[in-house]
Chain A
Amino acid sequence: MYEGVLQDLIDELARLPGVGPKGAQRIAFHLLAADPADVRRLAETMQEMKAKATFCQTCGNVSQAERCRICADPRRDPTSICVVEEPKDVVAIERTREFRGRYHVLGGAISPLAGIGPDQLRIRELMGRLADGEVTEVILAMDPNIEGDATAAYLSRLLRSMELSVTRLASGLPVGGDLEYADEVTLGRAFAGRRSTGD
């Protein structure tokens, strides 16, 4: 335990996702040694972000205005919507430059354990966007895990009766098929790589 304010900062930092007690301590000592101007800039950026960042009222993505840049861009295809769990998924898909339509951010995935059902996700808003018939294609890009699968299955049931092309895209982590591949390669490499010196 350190004295007063330093320990307070370590405790605060340790509550952040991805930062353990050791990481929190490292960051705190880094800030302690840093130029006061740098620390001030960091603190101000955090406050400014909190004050100005909001969520796009159309798609739910992080935005600085009522409509995000993608929703406001007239060059984006208005007939195609890609449904994702989190804003970070939008960034990931944008990076591929493969998709020219717009997004819909659900804000998570169905998970009874976490108390998240359809009502806790932005599904009603999605249905609202689909109501006027302009959108003809929906791409479901949930995470390839149990909760993502369940969410995609629930949405496809919901959209089944509508005149839409609904497709599922697995993103992010390796899915089922890759595992076999990795297994074979690692197994092969592991045992072919070195000969025993013992016999």
Chain B
Amino acid sequence: MHVSHLSLHDFRSYDTLELGLEPGVTSLLGRNGQGKTNVVEAVDYLSRLSSHRVSGDQPLVRQGAERAVVRAAVTREGRSATLEVEINPGRSNRARVNRAALPRARDLVGLVRTVVFAPDDLALVKGDPSERRRFADDLQVLLTPRYAGTRADYDRVLKQRSSLLRTARTRGGSAAQGMLATLEVWDERLAALGAEIMVTRAAAVEQLVPLLGKAYEAVARGARRDDAVVTYRPSFEIADLTVVADVEQALLAEVARRRQDEIDRGVTLVGPHRDDLLCTLGELPVKGYASHGEGWSFALALRLASYELLRQPGDDPILVLDDVFAELDATRREQLAELVAGAEQVLVTAAVADDVPEALRGRRLTVADGQVTPDG
């Protein structure tokens, strides 16, 4: 798929932007802070209704404006549709497809699929578990858009349940007893949704492994194919992650086992919000062991593998390379450029034109003062 036209209204630094795009490689070039990332962020937002840069929606709306609108003409296998989302921070967003309103904005998720390479991708392998959980969830949402609902429901249950534990702890005594009467109800919800998330994530990670090996080999020339592996790592001992009902029972048992601990500390200690993805190179974990270069190769390989996983016959996801080349050494730059050059649409941003490898020359646009203009 590719975006053939992008319109922004009050999105980030843009008051209005009308931008024609083409399949193949497009580079957005310009000095720092001119709005290059803002453009590609808008495309990425359409895919999952969340940004790769921030968790909330407020920063996406231009300072002083009430709402932002992102509209894109998207072409997939020769057919074209206009997708639109109105971003209303603090209230529900609204989405349209070919001008018809969708019942819920969430129904837009997955119609556009993007894979974003960003300068802080190193955190995927070296950062907190939350980075890797987000990676797994973002990928899963694009694989099965319905997953976005499960995730949102789980987050809500988690907030409610943790709030219950917190108040019970601060109140104490009989008030706490009254509050805790409903705890088992929240346990059930946590276990049901949590099991679905764990099983889905584990399955996605499983599919990623063979692709990851290949991608790592390609990025870090000379490495053995089976060198790079990622495994789903639940926060507690559990033998099998394939049957939802079994995982649900295991979660309930674990919740019961940690009951007193949770009440004492006032937090939810069991569930997929505490899981991790373990990245290993050969025998050793990447975090704490791998070199800076190896870490980067692994992070790029994770992105490339998700790109491969999201590909469908005749339909590539849109690739976004946001300012990554400045972070990479010459060899990795060239490798990455070669690997992605053939994708249906690649959007590249860079402050220094020379950082962009030859293989990704493509069409060049200059971004300056809120204007995007063809180069030369």
Interface residues in chain A, defined as those with a beta carbon under 8 Å from any beta carbon in chain B: 110-113, 115, 117-119, 146-147, 149-150, 153-154, 157, 174, 176, 179-180, 182-183, 186-187, 189-199
Q: Which residue of the partner chain, among A119, A182, A187, A193, contacts B103 with CB atoms under 8 Å?
A: A182
B157 touches A146 (CB 8 A): yes
B75 touches A198 (CB 8 A): yes
B189 touches A119 (CB 8 A): no
Please give, as numbers and ranges, the residues of chain A lying within 8 Å of B106 by CB-CB distance.
179
A193 to B75, CA, bound (A): 12
Task: From known contacts A112-B161, A183-B146, A193-B98, infer whether A157 and B185 are also in contact, taking CB-CB under 8 Å.
Answer: yes
Q: With an 8 A cutoff between CB atoms, is B275 at the interface?
A: no
A186 touches B75 (CB 8 A): no
A113's closest neighbor in chain B, by CB?
A: B163
Q: Which residue of the partner chain, among A115, A150, A176, A195, contacts B149 with CB atoms under 8 Å?
A: A176
Q: Which residue of the partner chain, among B75, B163, B186, contacts A150 with CB atoms under 8 Å?
A: B186
A174 touches B103 (CB 8 A): yes
B189 touches A112 (CB 8 A): no
A150 to B179, CA, bound (A): 13
Interface size on B, residues (CB 8 A): 40
Q: Which residue of the partner chain, among A110, A113, A117, A118, contacts B159 with CB atoms under 8 Å?
A: A113
A199's closest neighbor in chain B, by CB?
A: B78
Stretch in contact with the other chain, from B79-87, B207-215, B234-242, B298-306: B79-87
Q: Which residue of the partner chain, among B146, B159, B182, contacts A154 with CB atoms under 8 Å?
A: B182
Please give, as numbers and ranges, the residues of chain A lying within 8 Å of B368 by CB-CB distance.
none
Q: Which residue of the partner chain, among B146, B156, B179, contacts A180 with CB atoms under 8 Å?
A: B146
Please give, as numbers and ranges, the residues of chain B lying within 8 Å of A115 by CB-CB distance.
167
A186 to B107, CA, bound (A): 8
Cβ of B284 to closest chain A Cβ, rounded Å: 41
A195 touches B79 (CB 8 A): yes
- Would you list 30 pairs from A and B whose C-beta atoms are within 8 A, ordered by A residue? A112-B163, A112-B179, A117-B178, A117-B179, A117-B182, A149-B189, A150-B160, A150-B185, A150-B186, A153-B189, A157-B184, A157-B185, A174-B103, A176-B149, A179-B104, A180-B146, A186-B100, A186-B102, A186-B111, A190-B111, A191-B77, A191-B79, A191-B81, A192-B79, A193-B98, A194-B79, A194-B98, A195-B78, A196-B75, A198-B75
Q: Which residue of the partner chain, among A150, A182, A197, A198, contacts B182 with CB atoms under 8 Å?
A: A150
Q: With an 8 A cutoff between CB atoms, is B54 at the interface?
A: no
Cβ of A174 to closest chain B Cβ, rounded Å: 6
Per-position binary interface string of chain B over residues 80-119, scored 1 when its CB falls under 8 Å from any chain A CB and 0 otherwise: 1101000000000000011010111011001100000000
Q: Which residue of the partner chain, among B103, B145, B185, contacts A153 with CB atoms under 8 Å?
A: B185
B4 touches A119 (CB 8 A): no
B167 touches A112 (CB 8 A): yes
B162's closest neighbor in chain A, by CB?
A: A112
A-B interface, 10 closest residue pairs, ranked by CB to CB distance from nearest: A112-B164, A196-B80, A190-B81, A112-B163, A190-B97, A146-B156, A191-B79, A153-B185, A113-B163, A154-B185
B161's closest neighbor in chain A, by CB?
A: A112
Q: With an 8 A cutoff between CB atoms, is B153 at the interface?
A: yes
Cβ of B278 to closest chain A Cβ, rounded Å: 31
A118 touches B79 (CB 8 A): no
Task: From known contacts A190-B97, A194-B81, A198-B80, infer whether A147 and B107 are also in contact, taking CB-CB under 8 Å.
Answer: no
Please give, as numbers and ranges, the residues of chain A lying within 8 Å of B100 by CB-CB distance.
186, 189
Q: With an 8 A cutoff between CB atoms, is B188 at the interface?
A: yes
Task: From known contacts A112-B179, A150-B160, infer whether A189 and B185 are also in contact, taking CB-CB under 8 Å.
Answer: no
A27 to B156, CA, bound (A): 35
Q: With an 8 A cutoff between CB atoms, is B76 at the interface?
A: yes
A186 to B98, CA, bound (A): 10
B168's closest neighbor in chain A, by CB?
A: A112
B81's closest neighbor in chain A, by CB?
A: A190
Please give, as numbers and ranges, the residues of chain B lying within 8 Å of A193 by CB-CB distance.
79, 81, 98
Cβ of B250 to closest chain A Cβ, rounded Å: 20
A182 to B145, CA, bound (A): 12
Please give, as numbers and ranges, the residues of chain B lying within 8 Å of A192 by CB-CB distance.
79
B166-193 interface with A by 8 A CB criterion: 167, 178-179, 181-182, 184-186, 188-189
Per-position binary interface string of chain B over residues 49-82, scored 1 when its CB falls under 8 Å from any chain A CB and 0 otherwise: 0000000000000000000000000011111110
